[in-house]
Chain A
Amino acid sequence: MANLNIDSVKARTFDAIVIGSGMSGGWAAKEFTDKGLKTLVVERGRQVEHNKDYPTTNLNPWEFAHNGKVPRAVQEANPIASRCYVFKEDAMHFVVKDQEHPYVQEKPFDWIRGYQVGGKSLLWARQTQRWSKYDFEGPARDGFAIDWPIRYDDLAPWYSHVEKFAGISGNRDGLAELPDGEFMPGFPLNAVEEHFRQRVSKSHPGRHVISARCAHLSQPQPIHYEQGRVQCQNRNLCQRGCPFGGYFSSNSSTLPWAMKSGHLTLKPDLVVQTILYDEQRGRATGIRVVDTHTKATVEYYAPVIFVNAGALNTNLLLLNSTSHRFPTGLGNDSGVLGQYVAFHNYSARVFAEYDGLPDLTTDGRNPAGGGYLPRFRNVLKQETGFLRGYAASFGASRDLVQPTHGLGASLKQQLERPALGPWRVHAGMMGETIPKATNYVRLDPTRKDAWDMPLLSVSVDYDDNDAKMKQDFFEQFTDMFTQAGFTNIRPQDSHQAPGLDIHEMGGVRMGHDAKTSLLNRWNQLHACPNVYVTDSACMTSTSTQNPSLTYMALTARAVDHAVRELKKQNL
């Protein structure tokens, strides 16, 4: 019996444990297994295997039961998920249903989640811009949050490392505010996007319209074929899962790669309840998980643990991992665990039309979505009445339009002979928000979910800085659109709650000082150094770039550090 127990513990002991299989967890799995470590990845959701579990990926529009729409009963049962743009008939099976995973909104917050192997990496918008030195220097220069303990140069080689493997398309634009990376050819701007680029460069010197950089294989390299991925086929149906592996996801890239090494054990359907802490050794020893189906609990052990549960769930897990040493959550000596949560302000758009270039249109689809304007406000110094700034997406397209009237044979004819509509353009704001102690998450004191985890209570809101920045976005884009000759310019405030941007960050921030932060410059908990947090929870500030690429780079860098520390027996 004793031997059986020893065998059982041995079977449940690994070289490394990774909690979560999404964007950053997949990278931790790849990096650990590349270095030969026997790695356990636990995922709270179900298995989603590349291709095998993409049920809608090859369906034509007429093959859906409801023309792509979400049935009314599903919408009514899921008001939060229904606000998310990917919650449509083709991908709603990859989005968490409201009632299955409740949380508490102290203020309105749309928490969009993807509980499955691969997490939200299946569903992301695939935009991949590096941070610049101005972004990492932001909090120190402008006196908000705390100073980042790293700078651009610390991360640059790791950006290169992940870009080569993930496959990023983009142009070498030579901008200090948006450093170039390891690129495959960018997807080109179309005629009107290029027109806007040229006009802006004259009307507003220093502002740049570039091709959006994205995680699509425009010209696959041997490393991508080795992953079983081939060239992006411009389907723009990415949220269904891509049979070509044309865009980067954990499912198509890092996880199968790690599996091929023979060092990966992937266990779906397990919710981590707590990280186990050894009071004597002052180290985490493993995790306790609950099987989502049987509700049985079991422990797994490893000398190093990576927490990649997704921003708010990483907060929840650490807050719930209490011990004599850490009564308010693992590593929470500073008392700021769960605080300084921030996000991106996506609530503003400007629409317009363009009468010019009527002889041109587009053919095929652009997976990059079009253009991108890096932040141009307060880049080198403070110059507006608000802190920081915004990046923006910019796109132009023409639609086939079927303006119809009447009925009968003439109606059929109108439908069969569509006209080409005018060029329509749009810009979307991606605003930096300022992390604050008053934007926080905490454990609900009484209510628990079906797996005995406390409900997460979220209190996150916009502030005055966000309002001023949004006003500036409307003014600047109205001006740029006007000077580009666009007409019918329509600013639109979506009034959406935070969360719907799906860029929530922070709560377990990095910093120099254990008194004001949770993580050091290597993403280790200051107070429990064999626990690393490398997902969005670690972010000290948000900048304006789509953040996933930065989580990937931070993760690869942290794994490299962890493995070196393990060899030195420092963990």
Chain B
Amino acid sequence: MNRRIALKHVALLAGAAAVLPGCLSQAEREPASTALSASQRQLVAEVCETLLPRTATPGAHDLGLPQYVLKMLADCTPLLEQRIFVAGLGQLDAAAQRQHGRSFGASSVAQRAALLERIDQQPADFANELVGFYRAIRQLTIDGYTNSKYFMTKQVVYELVPGRYNGYYPVSKVDLAYPRHGQS
């Protein structure tokens, strides 16, 4: 491409931007998360399971948390944060390569946890987008977990109809291993 044609392209682009600002902003307004590929969604699921793995109790996969994260990302997350999420997700495999010489998906469970621990503990070592992605998916996964039917019926019991109020309830009577939402 010679210089004259290149300049013409620049001028055309500038003109289009000036004439059709709505088109450009429309593209920008498209939620980035709706364009996630199957492999990216798989990666999200692997991160969720690393954050809250199955132990003696159900983990992220068992509770459908990856689907929750993707839905809340697409429906309720500001667009700028969505773009950071997707950009950071895209950097995860490269970070895993540097750390363990293999992609996140090909890493062992321990290696996945070690990488996320490092992002958690030493964020300065990683790109802003990757740290932003980690913090966002961690919070969404926690929200999905603590809002799940499992958690709200088996761990911290939600009461739709408490039918009582006591303003002088002894703390000694609160069972923190099995607290009820009416108690706080």
Please name all residues of chain A whose beta carbon is closer than 8 Å to the beta carbon of B183 when the two chains form the complex: 361-364, 400
CA distance A489 to B151 in the complex (A): 34
Please name all residues of chain A whose beta carbon is closer than 8 Å to the beta carbon of B163 when the two chains form the complex: 233-234, 364
Q: Is the CB of B52 within 8 A of A362?
A: no
Interface size grouping (class) on chain A = 35 or more
The secondary-structure label for the interface of chain B is mixed
Cβ of A359 under 8 Å from chain B: yes
Q: Is the CB of A364 within 8 A of B182?
A: yes
Cβ of A201 under 8 Å from chain B: no
Please name all residues of chain A whose beta carbon is closer than 8 Å to the beta carbon of B149 when the two chains form the complex: 60, 62
CA distance A277 to B133 in the complex (A): 65
Cβ of B142 under 8 Å from chain A: yes
Q: Is the CB of B78 within 8 A of A235?
A: no
Q: Interface stretch among A160-168, A259-267, A416-424?
A: A416-424
Please name all residues of chain B whose beta carbon is closer than 8 Å to the beta carbon of A406 when the two chains form the complex: 117, 120
The secondary-structure label for the interface of chain A is loop
Q: In chain A, what residue has the closest Cβ to B63?
A: A62
Q: Interface stretch among A64-72, A115-123, A465-473, A515-523?
A: A64-72
Cβ of A480 under 8 Å from chain B: no
Q: Is the CB of A61 within 8 A of B76?
A: no
- Nearest CB on B from A246, distance (A): 10
Query: A234-B162, A407-B138, A408-B113 are contacts. A358–B171 as well, Cβ < 8 Å?
Result: yes
Q: In chain A, what residue has the closest Cβ to B29?
A: A76
Cβ of A150 under 8 Å from chain B: no
- Nearest CB on A from B95, distance (A): 15
Cβ of A404 under 8 Å from chain B: yes
CA distance A8 to B56 in the complex (A): 73
- Nearest CB on A from B153, distance (A): 9
CA distance A360 to B166 in the complex (A): 10
Cβ of A187 under 8 Å from chain B: yes
Q: In chain A, what residue has the closest Cβ to B116?
A: A407
- Nearest CB on A from B72, distance (A): 7
CA distance A58 to B174 in the complex (A): 26
CA distance A411 to B139 in the complex (A): 12
Q: Is the CB of A61 within 8 A of B184?
A: no
CA distance A69 to B163 in the complex (A): 26
Cβ of A398 under 8 Å from chain B: yes
Q: Mark B96-134, 1 if CB is under 8 A from A, else 0.
A: 000000000000000001001100100000000000000
CA distance A359 to B51 in the complex (A): 34
CA distance A193 to B167 in the complex (A): 9
CA distance A402 to B176 in the complex (A): 11
Please name all residues of chain B whose beta carbon is closer than 8 Å to the beta carbon of A404 when the two chains form the complex: 142
Cβ of A220 under 8 Å from chain B: no
Cβ of B91 under 8 Å from chain A: no
Q: Mark B43-60, 1 if CB is under 8 A from A, else 0.
A: 000000011110101000
Q: Is the CB of B147 within 8 A of A61?
A: yes
Query: A62-B148, A72-B78, A407-B51 are contacts. A365–B169 as well, Cβ < 8 Å?
Result: no
Q: Is the CB of A400 within 8 A of B113?
A: no
Cβ of A380 under 8 Å from chain B: no
Please name all residues of chain A whose beta carbon is closer than 8 Å to the beta carbon of B51 when the two chains form the complex: 407-408, 411
CB < 8 Å: which of B167, B169, B172, B177 contacts A417? B177
Cβ of A190 under 8 Å from chain B: yes
26 pairs across A/B with beta carbons < 8 Å? A61-B158, A62-B147, A65-B71, A65-B75, A66-B72, A66-B75, A69-B72, A70-B76, A188-B165, A188-B167, A189-B167, A190-B167, A235-B160, A359-B170, A360-B169, A362-B166, A362-B183, A363-B169, A364-B183, A365-B165, A366-B167, A399-B184, A408-B50, A417-B177, A418-B156, A420-B174
